[in-house]
Amino acid sequence: MDQQAYRLPDLFHHSYEECIVIAHRGASAYYPENTLPAFKGALEMEAAMIELDVMLTSDGVPVVFHDAKLSIHSNGKGLLSYHTLEELKAFDAGAWFSPQYAGTTIPTLQEVLELVAGKIALNIEIKTEAVSAEISGGVEEKCLQLVHDLNMQHHVLFSSFDYRALRHLKKLDSEIPVALLYNRGQSNGRPPAQLMNDYQVDAFNCSYHEYMAKWGPELHQLNIPHFVYTVDETDQMQQLLDADVSGIFTNRPDRLKALIDQRRNGKKT
């Protein structure tokens, strides 16, 4: 697939010639999602990229957590955005998954960047709850600053379901790779190619069902880089590999990597 027209993150020890293994919230089938153990697990499983979610604390610190409410994946209560970083760090974000991970805390984006810098690429999804109408001082600018501070700008792909964030990111840094996470309500019937042009983004992310039912042919015909979420079953992985997708988000990066390795070795024999 010719991807020269688009800006994509550089990968460590991998190539876009093969399907990219993207660890969804880390290796989250085996570790509590969006935590340092999950990201370390993804590194050990040799994923090519880690996907994570970013929210903002009440004192304006980007932290890695998926839900607006704390109660699903921590022992905290209420909205994450109502708490300071100090308050969030007192919550347990691992015991819900297994007693083995009791005491695991909600990581800051800075902590994750420091862990993975020079080792793996990141897909940083900015959650809608963190986005505002303001560009200056907003979540996008804060995340970009951390990425540049740790010299990760060539190894990061930003994404969001909130199309305001896409515009903000490109206004702040026109060279940063950005993916549009397909949002039917905000798309108003526009197909992938028009959305890519309207928001000047570099990749199109969609669900397995959206890809299989609707978007696959157009994405391939127009050579649009595309990453499909979230696929854990072997038969669905095989379907997407047969379709030559650019990358797959999975909670089981070891399973997807094994399939890709098997197919590569089969071609060589």
Q: Among all residues, which ones are annotated catalytic?
A: 24, 66
Instruction: Tokens 């590569």: give the residue.
Output: 264
Exposed (0-12), middle (13-18) or buried (19+): which is 229, by Cβ within 10 Å? buried
Using DSSP's 3-state secondary structure scheme, residue 248 falls into: strand
- DSSP assignment of 87-145, as one string? HHHTS-SSTTT-GGGTT--PPBHHHHHHHHTTT-EEEEEEPGGG--S--TTSHHHHHHH
Token readout for 40 is 């370390």
| Alpha-carbon gap, residue 117 to 152, rounded angstroms | 7
